[in-house]
Amino acid sequence: MNFLYQAAALMSQTNPQLSASYGKLAKSIGKKAVLRMEPSIKRTLCVRCGVLLNPATTADIHDYRHKELCYVQVNCKLCGYMKRFYNSKNHQLWLDNPSSLVERIEFDSNS
Protein backbone atom coordinates (compact mmCIF):
# COMPACT_ATOMS: atom_id res chain seq x y z
CA MET A 1 0.00 0.00 0.00
CA ASN A 2 2.88 2.35 0.76
CA PHE A 3 4.45 1.80 -2.66
CA LEU A 4 1.13 2.41 -4.45
CA TYR A 5 0.54 5.59 -2.47
CA GLN A 6 4.02 6.87 -3.37
CA ALA A 7 3.42 6.00 -7.04
CA ALA A 8 0.08 7.85 -6.92
CA ALA A 9 1.85 10.87 -5.42
CA LEU A 10 4.43 10.90 -8.20
CA MET A 11 1.89 10.46 -10.99
CA SER A 12 -0.70 12.95 -9.70
CA GLN A 13 0.88 15.94 -11.44
CA THR A 14 1.76 14.36 -14.78
CA ASN A 15 -0.94 11.69 -15.22
CA PRO A 16 -3.93 12.05 -12.86
CA GLN A 17 -5.80 9.05 -14.35
CA LEU A 18 -2.89 6.73 -13.54
CA SER A 19 -2.69 8.25 -10.06
CA ALA A 20 -6.41 7.53 -9.59
CA SER A 21 -5.96 3.88 -10.54
CA TYR A 22 -3.03 3.53 -8.11
CA GLY A 23 -5.10 5.14 -5.36
CA LYS A 24 -8.05 2.81 -5.97
CA LEU A 25 -5.72 -0.18 -6.02
CA ALA A 26 -4.16 0.85 -2.69
CA LYS A 27 -7.64 1.17 -1.15
CA SER A 28 -8.78 -2.22 -2.47
CA ILE A 29 -5.60 -3.97 -1.28
CA GLY A 30 -6.10 -2.43 2.16
CA LYS A 31 -9.68 -3.69 2.27
CA LYS A 32 -8.72 -7.18 1.17
CA ALA A 33 -5.89 -7.43 3.71
CA VAL A 34 -8.11 -5.82 6.38
CA LEU A 35 -5.64 -2.99 7.00
CA ARG A 36 -6.60 0.50 8.04
CA MET A 37 -5.13 3.51 6.32
CA GLU A 38 -3.81 6.34 8.44
CA PRO A 39 -6.38 9.19 8.53
CA SER A 40 -3.85 11.70 7.21
CA ILE A 41 -3.24 9.48 4.16
CA LYS A 42 -6.92 8.73 3.72
CA ARG A 43 -7.71 12.44 3.55
CA THR A 44 -5.33 12.99 0.65
CA LEU A 45 -7.14 10.50 -1.61
CA CYS A 46 -10.40 11.26 -3.39
CA VAL A 47 -13.25 9.06 -2.17
CA ARG A 48 -14.85 8.63 -5.59
CA CYS A 49 -11.99 8.35 -8.10
CA GLY A 50 -8.94 7.69 -5.86
CA VAL A 51 -6.67 10.42 -7.24
CA LEU A 52 -4.17 12.03 -4.87
CA LEU A 53 -5.53 15.50 -4.03
CA ASN A 54 -2.75 18.03 -4.63
CA PRO A 55 -3.69 21.69 -4.24
CA ALA A 56 -3.96 23.56 -7.57
CA THR A 57 -3.14 20.48 -9.70
CA THR A 58 -5.82 17.90 -8.90
CA ALA A 59 -7.89 19.72 -6.25
CA ASP A 60 -9.34 23.12 -5.39
CA ILE A 61 -9.23 24.02 -1.71
CA HIS A 62 -11.52 26.63 -0.15
CA ASP A 63 -11.58 27.78 3.46
CA TYR A 64 -15.02 28.78 4.74
CA ARG A 65 -15.52 30.63 8.00
CA HIS A 66 -19.01 31.45 9.18
CA LYS A 67 -20.26 32.51 12.62
CA GLU A 68 -20.59 29.03 14.08
CA LEU A 69 -19.27 26.78 11.33
CA CYS A 70 -15.73 26.60 9.96
CA TYR A 71 -14.60 24.03 7.41
CA VAL A 72 -12.18 23.37 4.58
CA GLN A 73 -13.77 22.24 1.33
CA VAL A 74 -11.73 20.16 -1.11
CA ASN A 75 -13.05 19.74 -4.67
CA CYS A 76 -11.56 17.05 -6.91
CA LYS A 77 -10.86 18.37 -10.41
CA LEU A 78 -10.94 14.90 -11.97
CA CYS A 79 -14.40 13.70 -10.89
CA GLY A 80 -15.91 16.77 -9.17
CA TYR A 81 -16.37 15.14 -5.75
CA MET A 82 -16.53 17.54 -2.80
CA LYS A 83 -15.20 16.77 0.70
CA ARG A 84 -15.63 18.93 3.78
CA PHE A 85 -13.34 18.82 6.78
CA TYR A 86 -14.84 20.63 9.75
CA ASN A 87 -12.59 22.63 12.05
CA SER A 88 -13.59 22.57 15.66
CA LYS A 89 -11.35 23.37 18.58
CA ASN A 90 -12.36 20.32 20.62
CA HIS A 91 -12.19 17.77 17.80
CA GLN A 92 -9.79 14.88 18.32
CA LEU A 93 -9.26 11.89 16.07
CA TRP A 94 -10.17 8.51 17.51
CA LEU A 95 -6.67 7.18 16.96
CA ASP A 96 -5.22 10.07 18.98
CA ASN A 97 -7.57 9.34 21.87
CA PRO A 98 -5.91 7.31 24.69
CA SER A 99 -9.07 5.20 25.15
CA SER A 100 -8.69 3.83 21.61
CA LEU A 101 -5.64 1.83 22.72
CA VAL A 102 -6.86 -1.59 23.81
CA GLU A 103 -3.66 -3.42 24.59
CA ARG A 104 0.00 -2.65 24.36
CA ILE A 105 2.46 -5.48 23.83
CA GLU A 106 6.17 -4.97 24.36
CA PHE A 107 8.67 -7.52 23.15
CA ASP A 108 11.90 -8.17 24.99
CA SER A 109 14.90 -7.82 22.70
CA ASN A 110 17.00 -10.29 24.77
CA SER A 111 15.09 -13.41 23.74
pLDDT in tens, 2-38: 899 899 889 888 898 998 999 999 989 988 998 888 8
pLDDT (0 to 100) of residue 80: 92
Domain boundaries of the chain, sorted by first residue: 1-90
| pTM for the whole structure | 0.71
Q: What is the DSSP letter of 98?
A: G
Q: Average the pLDDT over 66-78 and give the result.
A: 87
Can you tell me whether residue 64 is helix, strand or coil? strand
Rounded Cα–Cα distance for residues 63 and 50 (Å): 22
Across 1-111, where does the E strand assignment appear? 59-65, 70-76, 82-86
pLDDT on residue 111: 58
pLDDT average, residue stretch 45-67: 89
Q: How many Å apart are CA 16 and CA 58, to the nearest integer?
A: 7
Question: Which residues, other chains included, contact 33 with Cβ-Cβ below 8 Å and sequence gap of 6+?
Answer: none
Looking at 33-99, list the stretches that DSSP marks H as alpha helix, in order from N- to C-terminal side: 39-42
β-pairing verdict for 59-65 and 70-76? antiparallel
Region 82-102: mean pLDDT is 79
Average pLDDT over residues 48-53: 90
Please give the share of the chain, as a percent, with pLDDT higher than 70: 99
